[in-house]
Amino acid sequence: MTDLTHIRNFSIVAHIDHGKSTLADRLIQATNTVPDRDMKEQLLDAMDIERERGITIKANTVRIEYDALDGQHYVLNLIDTPGHVDFAYEVSRSMRAVEGSLLVVDSTQGVEAQTLANVYQAIDADHELIPVFNKIDLPASDIDRVAEQVEDVIGIDASGAIPVSAKTGEGIRDVLESIIANLPPPEGNRDAPLKAMLVDSWYDAYLGVIVLVRIKDGVLKKGDRVRFMQNGTVHQVDRIGVFKPSMQTVDDLGPGEIGFLTASIKQVRDTRVGDTITHEKKPCDGPLPGFKPSQPVVFCGLFPVDSAEFEDLRDAIDKLALNDASFSYEMETSAALGFGFRCGFLGLLHLEVIRDRIEREYDIELITTAPSVIYHVFMKDGTKIDLHNPADMPDLTHVDHVEEPRIKATILVPDEFLGDVLKLCQDRRGIQEDLTYAGSRAMVVYDLPLNEVVFDFYDRLKSVTKGYASFDYQLTGYRQDNLVKMQILVNEEPVDALSMMVHRDRAEMRGRAMCEKLKDLIPRHMFKIPIQAAIGGKVIARETLAALRKDVTAKCYGGDATRKRKLLDKQKAGKKKMRQFGKVDIPQEAFISALKMDS
């Protein structure tokens, strides 16, 4: 049993690549939580895909024991969080479980867009913040400039900031002492009825569902019968433990502690993130406020390349959705692609990670359709439809107007690339709202349509600024615009997987690019194939794929020209008939390439 005043709970927040996971490694190493022989880089990033891409995707927790300079023994619970905007939901959940944050800022780069976004989340959660300036071992490090930026841009006092190098381990002791001195201990009553917050849950093949909990009041012991308040299920606790990063069982968890429990839970669905756990016989007075559910931003269809693998895909998606509360899905069918799922994600990186995990962990080859966002379609009879898939767009004669989601994008960019960034945002139908300077860097705020951003905005932004821009966004609401559904017709048959919503002014350009792409991708048939882009009944772009021809006049030598003519006419009639009844096979590769966004 640990005294409450000797517990500190904190998370590490920062922009991408500012050194959160490396700092966590050093804190673990400095306190001998893990023996040196077991130490490896980014110890808390357990998934293969995290180690490969060098990013954190899941927030991970570890319990550190530390003997401070004042001779006391402290327990520190650390949560290492992701930096990418797509995983902001992980960050906001982790913040609710702890009382303070280490704000890590790269002393060579300074404050960036995600630094701002994560700080605001920490302030929303009432956190005490300790600024930490990392990478002081690099020659480009400039602590004074970064301290000035933190005070100007974020508005928090940087006079007590701790300079560290997470790579060499310099300054780590100061960080630990600062955590004990500056972060508040948790509050809680050991004698009150049990009240615990469910922070995360995931599926383990041996133990069933593992539930990460933060105890607010009361004590959780092995063998207790507990109730999950949101859905009313009751379970008996099999084991209780803490992460050091490997699992270690303990006898009980008291107020302020973060640990895990298993209770032979079969369905991850029974463990909703943000739920309150209490004793069955002696419940607490009411549930904790919980988290607001995440709002998916980007939708796309996932289909198996081999339709026989549909059941395996359903199983894989079910299991992934258990581990990832911000991922939503429902079944859908497509004429071209068969059975699959319409899935909602928080962004394109999130989509890529889920797709990679399904392909890698469950060995299923996938086709992903073009990503789209939710549109509000207002009908002439006054009803409103939420449109997830452009293929379901109702007939234009019944539609009054369409609204699309808009975002407020914050871009931090060095001065010399400002012109390119402004041009890029103008091209994407953006409206400039603000332009300020933080040192030599411009901070641009734009109102942009989300569907222009989900395709390849981030890649384009990185390439026009040589990787120096940082980008963060939040949804602001819906606005009416001149949007139309563009269909692709192959041999006069619509291909539903390729239909998309576009702005009328840009439809022709988009349509032409798509037709040209498909012309190169679809193999030639025995008859000529028109490839058209159309809005309603009006064709706006067309390419024709020439037919493969057999030389039927090869056996004619000499004689009258009418003999050749007769054979050619016979062939022409055959091709016309073929074109009427012929089916065009569009290979899977053509779909995949056509859906990769236009550069």
Q: Is the pLDDT of residue 297 over 80?
A: no
Rounded alpha-carbon distances, angstroms, from residue 16 to 144, 160, 413, 510:
22, 23, 15, 33
Q: What is the mean pLDDT of residues 289-307?
A: 76
442: which strand partners? 413, 437
**Among 240, 346, 229, which residue's Cα sits nearest to residue 290?**
229
pLDDT for position 507: 85
pLDDT for position 580: 64
Provide the mean pLDDT of the chain: 79
pLDDT for position 599: 42
The answer for residues whose C-beta is within 8 angstroms of residue 74's C-beta and 6 or more apart is 6, 7, 8, 65, 66, 67, 68, 180
Q: Is the pLDDT of residue 38 over 70?
A: no
Range name among 79-83, 257-261, 309-313, 541-545 with the lowest pLDDT average: 79-83
Q: Is the pLDDT of residue 373 over 70?
A: yes
The model's pLDDT over 387-408, given as tens digits with 9 standing for 90+, comes to 877 777 888 788 888 888 888 8
Q: What is the mean pLDDT of residues 436-442?
A: 77
pLDDT for position 573: 81
Domains and CATH numbers, the chain: 4-182 (3.40.50.300), 195-279 (2.40.30.10), 298-371 (3.30.70.870), 376-481 (3.30.70.240), 485-595 (3.30.70.2570)
pLDDT for position 598: 46
Quick one: 383 exposed, middle or buried, by C-beta within 10 A (0-12, 13-18, 19+)?
A: exposed
Q: Is the pLDDT of residue 61 over 50?
A: yes
Q: What is the mean pLDDT of residues 57-64?
A: 73
Q: What is the mean pLDDT of residues 310-330?
A: 80
Q: How far is CA 203 from the centre of its chain?
A: 20
Can you say whether residue 409 is alpha, beta or left, with left for phi > 0 and alpha for psi between -120 and 50 degrees? beta
pLDDT for position 87: 63
Strand 7-14 with 73-80, pairing = parallel
Place of tokens 């960034």: 421
Q: Is the pLDDT of residue 55 over 70?
A: no
Phi, psi of 177 (to 5 degrees): -65, -40
The answer for residues whose C-beta is within 8 angstroms of residue 121's C-beta and 6 or more apart is 13, 88, 91, 92, 95
The model's pLDDT over 121-135, given as tens digits with 9 standing for 90+, comes to 788 778 888 888 888
CA distance 3 to 73: 10
535: which strand partners? 486, 538
Phi, psi of 589 (to 5 degrees): -60, -35
Q: What is the mean pLDDT of residues 506-512?
A: 86
**Among 210, 217, 215, which residue's Cα sits nearest to residue 238?**
210
Split at pLDDT 50, 70, 90, the class of 2 is low
Split at pLDDT 50, 70, 90, the class of 591 is low
Residue type for position 276: T
pLDDT for position 41: 58
Q: What is the mean pLDDT of residues 17-34?
A: 77
Phi, psi of 244 (to 5 degrees): -130, 65
Binding site membership for GTP: which residues? 17-22, 134-137
Count of H-run helices and E-run strands, the chain: 13, 31
pLDDT for position 290: 63
Q: Is the pLDDT of residue 269 over 70?
A: no
Split at pLDDT 50, 70, 90, the class of 325 is low
Q: Is the pLDDT of residue 337 over 60?
A: yes
Binding site membership: which residues? 17-22, 134-137
Rounded alpha-carbon distances, angstroms, from residue 551 to 554, 565, 575:
6, 12, 13
